[in-house]
A = this chain, B = another copy of it.
């Protein structure tokens, strides 16, 4: 058994940043001279002086007539002067002021007669004249060092006759993903294997920050191979990055390699995701060991990789865009470390007229939940000095989009169904560009998120075993304000079967066969409630179903179990069967409703949703998908405290 290492003392985020920044500032970046026309977003490495003046002549600033100021003396509205012969010359904007003239009168201010030009006021010398060097004067210092070049800087340099500029060279990066279990994204990973997308993600971030990529990809995590790769990278790069293997596992060689060949500054930083991070240097080349979980990798790079790529060309970090938002449920965190929580943002409450903060609705936490990251609006930061956040507490949220793009957001936390994906697509591509943010939480949790003011909307298929009715009775019991229920569709629940299966299942009674292995959903899941209700209706006891006690937490998990043959069948929705290539035997139909506060019934976004639900396009889509019954689609029902029994 390999010997296990332990972490070095962890550092706070601030401390680690200070140490890293201090080290980076000791490195003098390389310089290079490049054409000005290719210098956008590069950083000047020396001051720049104008090689010529612009304009290099006195020029008309207007379309009009060039005059000699003296000839205009005394002209007024009441006593205009008429200029004749050589007393004026037509000029267009930008024209050279001809010899003998020193001012321009605008075309709009003159009166053209056959005998000459009538003018109505006098002008002082150089009026409406761009004098030599107005834009830039030869010899002027236009830019200092450390200036990031924007389009208008490039314009200014070209005007001033500067065609080459000395800039800091783009730092060259090597990005090494390590791990024997790592395969290329294009391959099909076996159980136990992972595709390497981290190195691509880091490459894209590094290039956006202004770096240049030498190599990115996978290197085996044999100690020798890794050592050779790091060695080569150190010779040919300005920044070396490894991904995974920076932690304390038996195959985590990174720390010992860096220690042997260079110096470790920081091993472990108090951020989550992102903690198992290593900062060091080999032969004065900065080295970052990023964690292997993709969101740890992302946050670690954002904090330390971007800083390095920018510092290595003397660029300043871009300002992140933060807003303050409220949370509507308790968020736990470990004191002493910064926790990053992916959130969706709902601005609805601030549109009611009251001055209020946007609501941050947390998505799934974890270091490797890419869909959660892909669909987030921002990253909420729980500060290191806090032990989580209480209900209604404020926190800083780093926006992933400009705030203006999020104002129309609707956050829906509830039961999931592919029809919501289609609704989402129709909303974002509508003229109003409404972002429907979906969080899959199940019916019950979704309803509670709606009621505590966290989500704007929820979806549910919550069967009342007493009445056989959906949603209404539960909502009546707990709602604090009137709610509207909009039926999206009745949808099929049914049995999953492998396409190779020889079983012939027709109804729930067929599950009593002892040769059939079932796999169940966890207690409290809408599908489990439905299953238990149906068993009860059919007078079947749980004990009669082989595998009733084996619980999984998602539709996908039971579908996967059926797909790989570890169970024969399971109850679930049709869409997941389709995704996993399973056969589907519809057994039951359940009401799937969208639920929101009645006060929002006339909100333009809800009205848009109602319009879509009733549209031919949406209904035809549902019909095509099969598994939906549209008999009540668009029907509105009401629930609320006034109906409470």
Q: Is the interface of A mostly helix, strand, loop or mixed?
A: loop
Which of A77-85, A420-428, A484-492 forms part of the interface with chain B? A420-428
Q: How far is the CA of A124 from the CA of B194 in the complex (A)?
A: 26
Is there contact, CB below 8 Å, between A134 and B368?
Answer: yes
Is there contact, CB below 8 Å, between A155 and B247?
Answer: no
Q: Quote the shortest CB–CB distance from A179 to chain B (angstroms).
A: 8
Is there contact, CB below 8 Å, between B578 and A134?
Answer: no
Q: Quote the shortest CB–CB distance from A193 to chain B (angstroms).
A: 9
Using Cβ atoms and an 8 Å threshold, which residues of chain B touch A63?
4, 247-250
Which one, B135, B163, B194, B403, contacts A185 given CB within 8 A? Answer: B163
Q: How far is the CA of A141 from the CA of B423 in the complex (A)?
A: 12
Is there contact, CB below 8 Å, between B400 and A370?
Answer: no
Which of A11-19, A48-56, A234-242, A508-516 forms part of the interface with chain B? A48-56
A529 at the interface (CB under 8 A from B): no
Q: Quote the shortest CB–CB distance from A27 to chain B (angstroms).
A: 14
- Taken together, the copies of this chain in the complex come to 2
Is there contact, CB below 8 Å, between B159 and A197?
Answer: yes
Q: Quote the shortest CB–CB distance from A624 to chain B (angstroms).
A: 15
Q: Quote the shortest CB–CB distance from A644 to chain B (angstroms).
A: 36
Which of A452-460, A461-469, A551-559, A634-642 forms part of the interface with chain B? A551-559
Q: Quote the shortest CB–CB distance from A108 to chain B (angstroms).
A: 8
Is there contact, CB below 8 Å, between B138 and A201?
Answer: no
Is there contact, CB below 8 Å, between B94 and A194?
Answer: yes
Most chain-B Cβ atoms within 10 A of its Cβ — which of A95, A251, A316, A371?
A371
Using Cβ atoms and an 8 Å threshold, which residues of chain B touch A403?
319
Which of A142-150, A255-263, A496-504, A611-619 forms part of the interface with chain B? A142-150
Using Cβ atoms and an 8 Å threshold, which residues of chain B touch A201?
151-152, 154-155
Is there contact, CB below 8 Å, between A425 and B47?
Answer: yes
Is there contact, CB below 8 Å, between B197 and A155?
Answer: yes
Is there contact, CB below 8 Å, between A560 and B139?
Answer: no
Most chain-B Cβ atoms within 10 A of its Cβ — which of A96, A153, A156, A424?
A156
0/1 per residue, A380-409, Cβ < 8 Å to B? 000000000000000000001111110000
Q: How far is the CA of A275 from the CA of B105 in the complex (A)?
A: 19
Q: Quote the shortest CB–CB distance from A215 to chain B (angstroms).
A: 15
Nearest residue (CB) in B for A427 is B144
Is there contact, CB below 8 Å, between A145 and B400?
Answer: no
Which one, B93, B135, B139, B371, contacts A578 given CB within 8 A? Answer: B139
Q: Which residues of A352-382 have CB atoms within 8 Å of chain B's CB atoms?
A: 366, 368-371, 373-375
Using Cβ atoms and an 8 Å threshold, which residues of chain B touch A433?
146
Q: How far is the CA of A401 from the CA of B595 in the complex (A)?
A: 45
Q: How far is the CA of A194 from the CA of B201 in the complex (A)?
A: 45
Q: How far is the CA of A132 from the CA of B189 in the complex (A)?
A: 13
A133 at the interface (CB under 8 A from B): yes
Using Cβ atoms and an 8 Å threshold, which residues of chain B touch A557?
131-133
Is there contact, CB below 8 Å, between A195 and B159?
Answer: yes
Q: Quote the shortest CB–CB distance from A69 to chain B (angstroms).
A: 12
0/1 per residue, A118-142, Cβ < 8 Å to B? 0000000110001111111111111
* Given A316-B405, A403-B319, A429-B145, also A370-B135 (CB < 8 A): yes
Q: Which residues of A178-201 have CB atoms within 8 Å of chain B's CB atoms?
A: 179, 181, 185-186, 188-189, 191-192, 194-195, 197-198, 200-201
* Given A107-B4, A136-B370, A374-B143, also A96-B191 (CB < 8 A): yes
Is there contact, CB below 8 Å, between B204 and A154?
Answer: yes
Q: How far is the CA of A579 from the CA of B202 in the complex (A)?
A: 47
Of the A-B pairs whose beta carbons lie under 8 Å apart in the complex, a sample of 28, sorted by A's number, is A40-B204, A56-B191, A63-B249, A95-B181, A96-B192, A130-B366, A131-B554, A137-B579, A138-B556, A138-B580, A139-B580, A140-B579, A141-B421, A142-B374, A144-B425, A146-B433, A151-B205, A152-B201, A152-B374, A156-B197, A156-B371, A158-B185, A159-B185, A160-B371, A163-B186, A316-B405, A317-B402, A317-B404
Residues of chain A touching chain B, judged by Cβ–Cβ distance below 8 Å, are 1, 4, 25, 37, 40, 47, 50, 52-57, 59, 63, 90, 92-96, 107, 125-126, 130-146, 150-156, 158-161, 163, 179, 181, 185-186, 188-189, 191-192, 194-195, 197-198, 200-202, 204-205, 207-208, 247-251, 292-294, 298, 316-319, 321, 366, 368-371, 373-375, 400-405, 418, 421, 424-425, 428-429, 431, 433, 551-554, 556-557, 560, 575-576, 578-580
Closest 4 CB pairs of A and B: A139-B579, A319-B402, A141-B421, A158-B197
Known: A93-B247, A93-B292, A137-B371. 15 other contacts (CB 8 A): A94-B181, A131-B553, A139-B575, A139-B578, A141-B418, A144-B429, A146-B428, A150-B204, A152-B294, A152-B298, A160-B371, A316-B401, A317-B402, A319-B403, A321-B321
